[in-house]
Structure 1
Amino acid sequence: MSRFLSNATNRIDAKGRVSVPASFRSVLSERGIQELYCLQDFTYPAISVGGPDLLDRYERQIASVDPFSPEANRMSLLVHGGGLFMRLDAEGRLMVTDFIRDFTGISSDVTFVGRSDHFQLWQPQAFHEAQAAAREGRFGSRPA
């Protein structure tokens, strides 16, 4: 099964578009994904991007609780109110909209980060800092 792996940083062009890495486009093609579900991440200043199956996964979680509960309401607010559908253009570029910029702080460059079944869009420095913090949290400080 193909997965989104690794990371790459690409520059946003003058029209506000960024090229999705070829390896990520290949996974999208293999999975037959044409419409992208984009969601504001619940923890990080990043946009999660996947196919409709990503939205389906979150909606199954929402459906598993009482639809009138505060929990279901909060989940829907995040999943539906913090998400939208987008498409790549014919050249494999994604428009970096205000929805993406405002949530992530992305300005001129986008770091694409593989997350197995989806990928994320990050402001490059924020990604490096979050990755370093995750590594530090996982491995702790090592003697010099």
Structure 2
Amino acid sequence: MIDKFLGDYEQAVDGKGRVSVPSPIRSIVSRRDPDYSEGQRANFVVVYGSPSWERLECYPIDEYTKITRGIEKMKRGTPERNRAQKLFFSRAFHAQIFEDGRILLPQSHRERLGLTEKVRFVGLGDQFNIVRAGSGDDGMSDDDFDAWLNEQEEGHVLSLIPDIDDE
């Protein structure tokens, strides 16, 4: 089984900011939370970045742990480490998937991103983003992405990805 976030799902947000997490995303979050067991709430981390971000970046616990280990290996006091710490620690919060399969989007983030009626869950491999329905997932609308994709030569996109030798 591939434990990567795939697909693009549109979900309704209720008046209290609750939204159902699509089943494929929910199951991967659960499998990638080392402390999860049946009957427990699956955990993940949400990074909200700067006020100009139009997304919430969501990381399963195992991926967030890798990121934090990488930050810990950076030289203390450097601007790069300080920036990484600010982004992944100060501008992040823990989230849980409730027993009914929903999450609660904090009001401040709903207001900033316009997450009032519908949101999209966009799978991006080791993370998924939550964005306003009708917007791009990382500053690129679907129309812009499709235009770029149509300009590429056949097979070109795969040529951008390095080969990985499995051992």
Instruction: Give the TM-score range, shorter chain.
Output: 0.7 to 0.9
Identical-pair percentage:
23
Q: Distance in 1 between matches of 2:147 and 2:48?
A: 25
1:82–1:99 Cα change, 3 Å: farther
Which residue of the partner structure matches residue 8 of structure 2?
Answer: 7
* 5+ long unaligned stretches in structure 2: 37-41, 153-167
TM-score (norm. length: structure 1): 0.82
Deviates more, 1:76-85 or 1:131-140: 131-140
Q: Distance in 1 between matches of 2:106 and 2:59?
A: 17
Which residue of the partner structure matches residue 22 of structure 1?
Answer: 23
TM-score (norm. length: structure 2): 0.72
1:90 aligns with 2:99: yes
Amino acid corresponding to residue 96 of structure 1 in structure 2: L
The 8 Å contact of residues 38 and 85 in structure 1, kept in 2 or not, is answered as yes
Between structure 1 and structure 2, the one with the greater Rg is 2
Q: Distance in 1 between matches of 2:146 and 2:86?
A: 31
Amino acid corresponding to residue 135 of structure 1 in structure 2: D
Map Cα deviations across residues 36-66 of structure 1 (whole Å, 9 max, x no partner): 1111258951111122223222223322321
4+ residue segments displaced more than 6 Å: none
Q: CA deviation at 1:88?
A: 1.2
What RMSD over aligned residues (CA atoms) do the two structures have, in Å? 2.6
The 8 Å contact of residues 40 and 103 in structure 1, kept in 2 or not, is answered as no
- Of residues 128, 135, 139, the one that matches 2:146 is 135
Q: Distance in 1 between matches of 2:12 and 2:45?
A: 22
Which structure dedicates a bigger proportion of its chain to helix? 1
Paired residues, number: 142
The 8 Å contact of residues 97 and 103 in structure 2, kept in 1 or not, is answered as yes
* 5+ long unaligned stretches in structure 1: none
